[in-house]
Chain A
């Protein structure tokens, strides 16, 4: 326990640096993944060609099943080492859950609601923004939350290709026989995942309330 505290007090700049790298890695991947996967999910809902949907889901699934270390090693000749390839690898992992949940969320919207929207003269864009998106918000948010927690834990592997992060503490702790380093890296990743999940939960609640207000004012 003593080693633990002295490590924190002596090395807090390094710990903070690792934490910061980890945050940049995970959140860049999740934000980019959301920007890419949500529109694709919506497009798939409106797409009438069956095989395209299967193909896109198949590819997204494929990204999820490639062992991450293999992916990182393969990316070296293409993208080099450090942050860039690590973020790309994590981004590929984040696509599937967000894509799947966006698609399912839109599909879950009641057909009657959609027909009434059409009857009220809503354009497709209005239907998406005012009806489908708010109604499927819980689905999409849960996709983003699941992905965030996953990505934060996977980002520990980024240290293998020189991208740093909390994984750096874990692997060097393994290397030099300092359990306190492994603990701090591991506990840091757990706390980060819990805090991120909590914050996203708050965001979801806030977005939900906003949507309720618009609905009530409309009534």
Chain B
């Protein structure tokens, strides 16, 4: 008697599990795009998808929220993902030997050559905007203390709490130790956290200063002020589409499909698009497709 009851209870559970398994192995996409955890990379991935599906016969899938750019790169190396958006400053993340130059053109060149040589990736030309690190404070604090550039906070550094993403403290060339050396600044307390949380943390006065990403719309929404990098410490971070070279060889039409985006997105456009997702709560796909339509880039 008991057993029969158990069987009836287990049936729906098995059904749910089966449904989940079969849906996961549904339509085979020939191209999979990986994205980082922040909105911008998801919007751009939706743009690639819309353009590729519009102009070629390929199916595109997206795997969102990979924890870090290094994870994205490793997933591409394993061929779990074939395409992503990466930033030229990525070369400072211990992937291969670099010259250490911070010149914009030179860093792009090293990224393109290095990833071709060591990873067999094709690093296409930049989309047209940089998403760099930006030291940011609340506007009222900046106004009352007269902060305009990073050097200005040095006098108050011991009393300040810094919020940063989970990676920056460990980065060798453009991370905290190198920054402290360049500016002579060490903050009183440092809280590493998920990047999406730093904006509300500084707005809610949980921390005094945060290292934000420059194209994040929440800088505007929460009334935050970016301090000028007066010692030009941070390297360039030009966003580019990156693909596995073997995929491009097999399907050169992908590069033609996304070509209209190259050099087409400037920082203000990107901030506005991020704003529509992060603040106005629209979906990444909706925002990406609307933008492409408005620019006349979608055929269908």
Contacts and interface: CB of A to CB of B under 8 A. Distances in A.
Interface of A: 73, 76-77, 80-82, 159-162, 164, 168, 171-178, 181
Given A81-B193, A162-B163, A171-B67, A76 B170 contact: no
B214 interface: no
A159 B172 CA distance: 20
Nearest to B73: A177
A76 B204 contact: yes
B56 interface: no
Given A73-B197, A161-B197, A176-B167, A168 B192 contact: yes
A156 to B, nearest CB: 12
Contacts, number: 81
B170 A175 contact: yes
A172 B163 contact: no
A77 B5 CA distance: 46
Interface residues of A: mostly helix, strand, loop or mixed? helix
Contacts of B69: 175
| Across the A-B interface, the 8 shortest Cβ-Cβ residue pairs | A175-B167, A162-B191, A177-B70, A171-B166, A172-B170, A162-B193, A175-B68, A80-B206
Interface string B183-222: 0000000011110010011001011000000000000000
Nearest to B205: A80
Contact of A172 (B95, B192, B201, B207): B192
Contacts of A164: 192
Interface in B65-118: 67-71, 73-74, 93-95
A71 to B, nearest CB: 13
B258 interface: no
Nearest to A77: B204
Contacts of A81: 163, 191, 193, 197, 201, 206-207
20 contacts: A73-B197, A76-B197, A76-B206, A80-B206, A81-B197, A81-B206, A82-B191, A160-B166, A161-B194, A162-B191, A164-B192, A171-B67, A171-B68, A171-B167, A175-B69, A175-B166, A175-B170, A175-B171, A176-B93, A177-B74
Given A81-B201, A176-B171, A168 B166 contact: yes
B94 A177 contact: yes
Contact of A177 (B93, B201, B207): B93
Nearest to B90: A177
Interface of B: 67-71, 73-74, 93-95, 163, 165-167, 169-172, 175, 191-194, 197, 200-201, 204, 206-207
B166 A181 contact: no
A176 B67 contact: no
Contacts of A171: 67-68, 166-167, 192
B197 A160 contact: yes
A171 B170 CA distance: 10
Contacts of B74: 177
Given A73-B197, A168-B192, A177 B163 contact: no
A27 B150 CA distance: 39
Contacts of A159: 166, 192-193
A174 B169 contact: no
A176 B74 CA distance: 12
A178 B163 CA distance: 22
B204 A172 contact: no
Contact of B167 (A77, A82, A161, A172): A172
Given A81-B206, A172-B166, A176-B175, 11 more contacts: A77-B204, A80-B204, A81-B207, A161-B193, A162-B163, A174-B67, A174-B68, A176-B171, A177-B70, A177-B93, A178-B170
Contacts of B207: 81
A178 B94 contact: yes
A168 B251 CA distance: 40
A162 B193 CA distance: 5
A77 B200 contact: yes
A203 to B, nearest CB: 34
Give the one of B70, B163, B175, B193 with max A CB within 10 A. B193
